[in-house]
Structure 1
Amino acid sequence: MNTSIYCPEEIKSFIDDGAIFYVSHSGGKDSQAMYALIQEVVPDEQIVVVRADLGEVEWQGVQDHIFENTEHKVWVVKAKKDFLEMVEKRGKWPSAAYRQCTSDLKRGPIFKFIRNDLKERGATIAINCMGLRAQESSSRAKKKPLSYNKMQSCNNRVIRHVYDWLPIFHFTTEEVFQSIRGAGQEPFWAYSKNERLSCVFCIMGCVNDLRHGAEQRPELYKRYVELEKQIGHTMFMKGKQPISLEEHVGIKIS
């Protein structure tokens, strides 16, 4: 079993050049394994852990889990809007093709933090570390494990070079859990039933994960069901036809 992170020569050069490694931590298994392994390669003073707080739509206890399993200060960032408010205003749920939840509630606040933190440190190189893996989907498999982020970089009045690094890009799910155990840690409790961890009711979640969410957070499940009816748009499709969350999950609200 190979649990060595993807660490090309460029990463070693970035370390020597004083780059700051911003480790995005969601509390999920991939983030947890990635952080533990990055610590073996990157000096502590060059690691910054940042978390995007999604509020009530997340699994309860996930933030405490992150705090308990990190040795660095965890910088928590949050968008000015929350998920359900965003859906209600837009009148639509996110989709695999239009993941506004990721761009507005996660990526946006994290990159804003990176820009500000880099400026305060007087540093010019940021390595945005993400726990994405090729095994997760065909679209993710097409990504490069190390790439230059042109959108977040600039070379004018302000000098800033941002790179996206996927340290566990080649890992299997088994290798991810092995890395967590190897660090003397346990994954978040929801993995006792879940395949993945994101929002409690994620558009990318399987039926089993969604059912587990409905069992654990019935009041939140009810709000999602009611919001579908309110805006006239559903989270999921059955073929080309919309299907309600209740039908998809198989749990009716009372």
Structure 2
Amino acid sequence: MTSQNSFDFMQLDTAKPPQEVLDLIARGAAFVINHSGGKDSQAMYLMVRKYVPAAQIVLVHADLGEVEWAGAVQHIKSTTAGEPLHICRARRNLLEMIAERGMFPSPSQRQCTSDLKRGPIEKTIRHLGVKLIVNCMGMRAQESSGRSKLATFKLSERNSKAGREWYDWLPIHAMTTDQVFSEIAAAGQQPHWIYAAGMSRFSCCFCVMSNQADLTTAARLNPSLYRKYVDLEKSTGQVMMMPSKTHGRRTLEQITGIAA
């Protein structure tokens, strides 16, 4: 199989998946949609279901516990069509991970992604017992230079074992943020409530990839959880956010201007 690095979803009504994906649909592959409850997952589901029969769609959600925005699972259920939804959890949550390690994840060392999301999701997929799998993820090129370089379709050699044939696909890699919201609106749906409340990111309420505006909004919307992060900064002697060239090392309270 060859990788598709520039699949263009600019024309949302006429765009089709690459031929490799169409062939896998015809072969009856299970299309597993990684669904956080956020806007990108929601738009990805809407795109995939245009081409993949409902009987071939499976949803999987990594439950992040108290650090996840309220109503994630309910939002997934209300914006999908009743396909099987598998909810998985890691052995420890993010706050426990930080306390045990004595440090926060960083943009370059994101154990939160590998341990709390990717690991449990892949384990859940393996336990489905399906032998032909297309693992659908909602990363988009617009989000970062790193994500812009990702192959949008490839064989997962690491997971293609024990008789499994496993492919990773990024259905909305070429979509812009505006197109994501347009796709949701065109389906007559609304994104999760946090976007209207001022957040630009979903998943963890407080994320090491967040900007100052999102951290400030999250602190206002979820003060009890914010207090736990501030307490972890104090108990570990570390700060959650990486120092910047402009401001240097700052605590969450210094970044947001909100006292816990």
Q: How many residues align?
A: 246
Residues 209-218 or 104-113, more deviating: 209-218
- Structure 1 CA distance, aligned partners of 2:244 and 2:112? 23
Q: 1:221 maps to what in 2?
A: 226
Matches within 5 A, 1:38-117: 38-71=48-81, 72-117=83-128
- Structure 2 CA distance for partners of 1:61 and 1:103, relative to 1, 3 Å: same
- Structure 2 CA distance, aligned partners of 1:115 and 1:77? 12
Q: Which string of whole-angstrom CA distances, capped at 9 and with x for unpartnered residues, describes residues 60-93 of structure 1?
A: 1122111111112321111111110001101110
The structure carrying a bigger strand percent of its residues is: 1
State whether residues 6 and 166 of structure 1, in contact with CA within 8 Å, keep that contact through their aligned partners in structure 2. Answer: no
Q: 2:134 maps to what in 1?
A: 127
TM-score, normalized by length of structure 1?
Answer: 0.93
Q: Which runs of 5+ in 1 are unaligned?
A: none
Residues 123-132 or 20-29, more deviating: 123-132
**What is the root-mean-square deviation of aligned Cα atoms in Å?**
1.3
Q: 1:21 maps to what in 2?
A: 31
**Secondary structure in 2 matching 1:237:** coil
- Structure 1 CA distance, aligned partners of 2:28 and 2:70? 36
State whether residues 152 and 169 of structure 2, in contact with CA within 8 Å, keep that contact through their aligned partners in structure 1. Answer: yes
TM-superposed deviation, 1:237: 2.8
Instruction: Confirm whether residue 184 of structure 1 aligns to residue 188 of structure 2.
Output: yes
Q: 2:45 maps to what in 1?
A: 35
Instruction: Confirm whether residue 202 of structure 1 aligns to residue 212 of structure 2.
Output: no
Q: Which runs of 5+ in 2 are unaligned?
A: 1-9
Q: Which string of whole-angstrom CA distances, capped at 9 and with x for unpartnered residues, describes residues 31-50 of structure 1?
A: 00010111110011110011
Runs of 4+ that moved beyond 3 A? none
TM-superposed deviation, 1:15: 1.2
Q: Of 247, 251, 254, which aligns to 2:258?
A: 251
Letter paired with 1:168: I
Q: 1:173 maps to what in 2?
A: 177
TM-score, normalized by length of structure 2?
Answer: 0.91
State whether residues 199 and 218 of structure 2, in contact with CA within 8 Å, keep that contact through their aligned partners in structure 1. Answer: no
Q: 2:20 maps to what in 1?
A: 10
Q: 2:3 maps to what in 1?
A: none
Identity between Structure 1 and Structure 2 (%) = 47
**Secondary structure in 1 matching 2:59:** strand
TM-superposed deviation, 1:6: 5.8
- Structure 2 CA distance, aligned partners of 1:106 and 1:48? 16
- Structure 1 CA distance, aligned partners of 2:120 and 2:16? 26
Letter paired with 1:98: Q
